[in-house]
Amino acid sequence: MGATTVGVIGLGYWGPNLLRNFAENEAAELRWICDADTSRLAAMGHRYPAAQTTTDYRKLLSDAKLDAIAVVTPVATHFQIAKAGLLAGKHLLVEKPLTATESEAEELIDLAERNCSTSIQCASTWGCFRRTSTSFGIWRRTIYRSWIT
């Protein structure tokens, strides 16, 4: 199995750390960088020139070669982006909290469980991880070694 192709949406506090970890991890291929701030996007695009850049997260969703998306945006946007990602068949790593409300979180978990080919993980603290599909291993293989470094 080849490297997991990954896109990162959000370049606030955690985004640049994830970019670095994915770029340095042999099990991952950093394919996309996305942020609304064009100056931050340009800076990270310069640092990781092999990755495509965009201000529109929907471009990541339409990329058939992209396996997984890390959502590192303000919590108010988590549900919309994560739901769209699951519907597009992408594996997701969502920064905590998963969503703004419990009902949104349950909807995402139900959607991931119904679609056994995708998984959704909540990250930042190990205690927040929840297995939601048979594809849990994709994130563990890709992130486990680099997430804490």
pLDDT at residue 64, rounded to an integer: 97
Q: For residue 74, is it within any domain? A: yes
Point out the catalytic residue in the list 59, 83, 90, 96: 96
Q: How does pLDDT run across 71-102, given as a tens digit for each residue? A: 999 999 999 999 999 999 999 999 988 889 88
Domain tally for the chain? 1
- Tokens 């969502």 label which residue? 94
**83 an active-site residue?**
no
pLDDT at residue 106, rounded to an integer: 87
Cβ-count burial of 9 within 10 angstroms (0-12 exposed, 13-18 middle, 19+ buried)? buried
> The CATH number of the domain where 53 resides is what?
3.40.50.720
List of the chain residues with pLDDT < 50: 124-149
Stated pTM of the model = 0.82
Q: For residue 46, is it within any domain? A: yes
pLDDT at residue 102, rounded to an integer: 87
CA distance 91 to 46: 26
**Structural domain range at position 99:** 4-143
Q: How does pLDDT run across 96-113, given as a tens digit for each residue? A: 888 898 889 889 988 888
Do 73 and 12 touch, CB atoms closer than 8 A?
A: yes
Q: For residue 149, is it within any domain? A: no
